[in-house]
Amino acid sequence: MQKHFLILLGTRPEAIKLFPVINRLKSENRKDVAITVCATAQHRQLLDQVLKLAEVIPDFDLDIMTSNQTLDHLTARLLAQIGDMLEKVRPTRVIVQGDTATAMTGALSAYYHRIPVSHVEAGLRSGDIFAPWPEEVNRKIVGSIADQHFAPTERAAQALRSENIPTNRIHVTGNTVVDALILAKARVEGDPTLSARWNEIRQCHGNRRIILVTCHRRENFGGGVLNIVAALETILAREDVAVVLPVHPNPNVRDVFVSRFSNHPRVVLISPQEYTDFVSLLSLSYLVLTDSGGVQEEAPTFGKPVLVMRDTTERPEGIEAGTARLVGASHERIVGETFRLLDDDEIYASMARSHNPFGDGHASERIVKVLLDA
């Protein structure tokens, strides 16, 4: 029977984590398999950056994003437009990734159209529905609809089993972000112009240690972001560090960082970077301060300690491996743990181990095999 996979993606991390699956599926070149890629464009510029680099051209583009979109309006628009698209395309299976509004509404809409759903990056759980918000509930909704669960780690598979998902529907694959990262890293290492892109920062800051910062989580908006800014100001009182901060375009974070740091001599505020440029930046940084999910999964490949600016994480594998620590959006903890890493070589060395507990670079291979064999 003809298989028709519809792969749905909307945001930067979905594109990064799905392009290895899309490209591998396409490279199988099977006559009995049709592949349709639908971009909801929940993100616009951030999504386009990745799709261009990965040479993925969506068959459908729903062009959903509006400025400073609210969760309810975003969800309503996504559900209606994904539904109309599914009605037209009638795929035999919908593939969604992660925990975004696109993934959640994609799964729900597929269910309304009685189309089976595969979930890439299934089984991540923090146990707190408000952290990350709204992602914890989004992925539980996807998990309750999907009949194929691609769990990145054994721990994620265990979480699904404890929710009574039948074992034969759970496949431990590794996280596809490691596949994407390995491809990007090879590209950076093979093209000296990519790492030369950061020469200006290197020259300007000499021996200063680079702290790479990313921040965008909805639960940190308001007080959390202000605490993070205040903590960075305290850290920057030291002359021996510089902060590089690719600013997320969400106005709730962008406006605060731009107003506080635009003129700071040791803060480099930059626009969202192409994936290869970000990977290259990761490799030259000394440590990472982030509330991102994907960055937590990538930093261990480069042996970079990560301080996670959240109170809890659905990715505890990094904490257990000793390469990441939770610091919340707390001024005291962010400053305290950053200073420990800057001042104590032993603590730094204990966290700067290059080992990635999230995947081995073969996740998309395993996922495609299951998709084709089922």
Catalytic residues: 99, 121, 135, 216, 218, 248
Name residues contacting ligand UD1, limited to 326-355 (CB under 6 A): none
135 binds ligand UD1 (CB under 6 A): yes
Using an 8 Å Cβ cutoff, are 220 and 256 in contact? no
Residue showing the smallest CB distance to ligand UD1 in the complex: 100
Q: Are the C-beta atoms of residues 170 and 149 closer than 8 Å to each other? A: yes
* C-alpha span between 134 and 138 (Å, rounded): 6
Closest CA to 296 of 271, 318, 273: 318
- Angle at CA of residue 164, ends 162 and 167, nearest 5°: 95
45 binds ligand UD1 (CB under 6 A): yes
User: Nearest distance from residue 246's CB to ligand UDP, in Å?
Assistant: 3
Q: Is 295 in the site for ligand UDP (CB under 6 A)?
A: yes
Q: Confirm or reject binding of residue 5 to ligand UDP (CB under 6 A).
A: no
Q: Is 272 in the site for ligand UDP (CB under 6 A)?
A: yes
Q: Is 242 left (phi over 0), alpha (psi -120 to 50) or beta?
A: beta
Size of the site for ligand UD1 (CB under 6 A): 24
Using rule CB under 6 A, residue 67 touches ligand UD1: yes
Binding-residue pattern over the window 158 to 197 for ligand UDP, x denoting contact by CB under 6 A: -------------------x--------------------
**From 16, 124, 288, 299, residue interacting with ligand UDP (rule: CB under 6 A):** 16
The secondary structure element, H or E, covering residue 213 is strand 209-214
> Among 373, 268, 253, 360, which Cα is nearest to 317's?
360
Q: Which window, 10-18, 26-34, 86-94, 362-370, contacts ligand UDP (CB under 6 A)?
A: 10-18
Q: If you count DSSP H runs as helices and E runs as strands, how many of each does the chain have, helices first?
A: 17, 13
80 in Cβ contact with 108 (< 8 Å):
no
Residue in 74, 78, 228, 267 binding ligand UD1, rule: CB under 6 A: 74
Classify residue 223 by burial, with Cβ atoms within 10 Å: 0-12, 13-18, 19+.
exposed
350 binds, among ligand UD1, ligand UDP, none (CB under 5 to 8 A by kind): none
Alpha carbon 60 to chain centroid distance? 22
Q: Quick one: 148 or 220, whose CB is closer to ligand UDP? A: 220
Rounded distance, CA 182 to CA 250, Å? Answer: 28
- What the block records as the tokens of 175 is 């996280």
Distance of alpha carbon 68 from its chain centroid, rounded? 20
Single out the residue of 6, 7, 9, 13 in contact with ligand UD1 (rule: CB under 6 A).
13
With tokens 């969400």, the residue in question is: 250
Rounded to whole angstroms, how far apart are CA atoms 128 and 87? 35
Decide if residue 293 touches ligand UDP (CB under 6 A). Answer: yes
> Residue 295 touches which of ligand UD1, ligand UDP, none (CB < 5 to 8 A by kind)?
ligand UDP
- Give the one residue of 7, 12, 58, 157 binding ligand UDP; rule: CB under 6 A: 12
Residues that bind ligand UD1 (CB under 6 A): 11-13, 42-46, 65-69, 74, 99-101, 134-135, 216, 218, 249-251
Residues that bind ligand UDP (CB under 6 A): 12-13, 16, 177, 214, 216, 246, 272-273, 275, 278, 292-295, 298
